A and B are shown apart, each in its own frame.
Chain A
């Protein structure tokens, strides 16, 4: 990421100096403003979902829920951390149902736990699986299509699901191929 940062920053910076030096600072400020606004949204989202997750955890729901999902997840992600496997199952289910907020809260905590245990394989796998973005109903894009006056807004659901599954399969296979041998 450090290399990418330097490369993109310098390349864009030089290009802006040539084209329009006045746009340089506003662009950066725009970016950090976006970050701040996103941060406020994220904090609100986290407060709701982390609170809810804690209630669900204290009531023992997460344990029951993840008992079903834990064996396959522990196997795919090769983690022995039960809490992390639990959080991963919450994250995957929430992502699939399109509840991004719940997914991020659980996902970040799972990443922390895996990081503490130095389970790099599990973290790589979890990241790649997350980035595939498998989702039952892509609500944002559906509402955009309806707004744009589409006659058949749901036409893209199946192709999108298949495309995301393609990313999932290729991602999982490539993680196994690249990182799988170390253990």
Chain B
């Protein structure tokens, strides 16, 4: 998919050119937008830090493996290979952590094996729920339990569905 690489640069150049033709003061306008970056980060950072510290503890303590072991009968029941249960658990907490697990699975079982394909599909479908919630719900406290729960349920169904689709294709 070579053409994908062209989308972004072409989009940027075209938009900047078209804006200039429409007599937008592009430089001032860009700077005005970019000015919002640091205040945005300042308000997000405490929550990102809290979530990432928590997910690091979760993994380092071995709690995530313990959970994975306890829940593996459930995973087997919905058709998710047990080898992937820790991936399913880490996924909502840490994008980089789950990516590490995916590459580990690819190396161990071969990238084209059923398990590796399932792992890739798991990684590619669904966001890092707690991370997204840290960013999107940073300002309000305590109101995000329901959205997070719904998203987790939906993504878990997607994980099961993904493993099923891997068998079809």
Chain A residues with CB under 8 Å of chain B are 1-3, 5, 8-9, 11-13, 15-16, 19, 23-24, 26-28, 30-32, 34-36, 38-39, 42-44, 46-48, 50-61, 97-99, 104-105, 107-108, 111-112, 115, 120, 123-124, 126-128, 130-133, 135, 137-141, 144-145, 147-156, 158-164, 166-168, 170-171, 174-175, 178-179
| Nearest chain A residue, comparing its CB with the CB of B145 | A1
B contact face: mostly helix, strand, loop, or mixed? helix
Contacts of A132 in B (CB 8 A): 125-127, 151, 154-155, 158
Does B154 lie within 8 Å of A162, measured CB to CB?
no
Report the count of interface residues on B (CB-CB < 8 A): 90
Give complex CA distance A19, B155 in Å.
Answer: 32
| Nearest chain A residue, comparing its CB with the CB of B142 | A2
Assess A12 versus B58: contact at CB under 8 Å? Given A115-B140, A130-B127.
Answer: yes
A166 to chain B, nearest CB (A): 4
Contacts of B139 in A (CB 8 A): 112, 115
Does B41 lie within 8 Å of A46, measured CB to CB?
yes
Chain B residues with CB under 8 Å of chain A are 1, 4, 7-8, 12, 15-16, 18-19, 22, 24, 26, 29-34, 36-38, 40-41, 44-45, 48-63, 66, 96, 99, 102-103, 106-107, 111-112, 116-117, 120-127, 129, 132-133, 135-137, 139-148, 150-151, 153-155, 157-159, 161-162, 165-166, 168-169
Does A46 lie within 8 Å of B158, measured CB to CB?
no
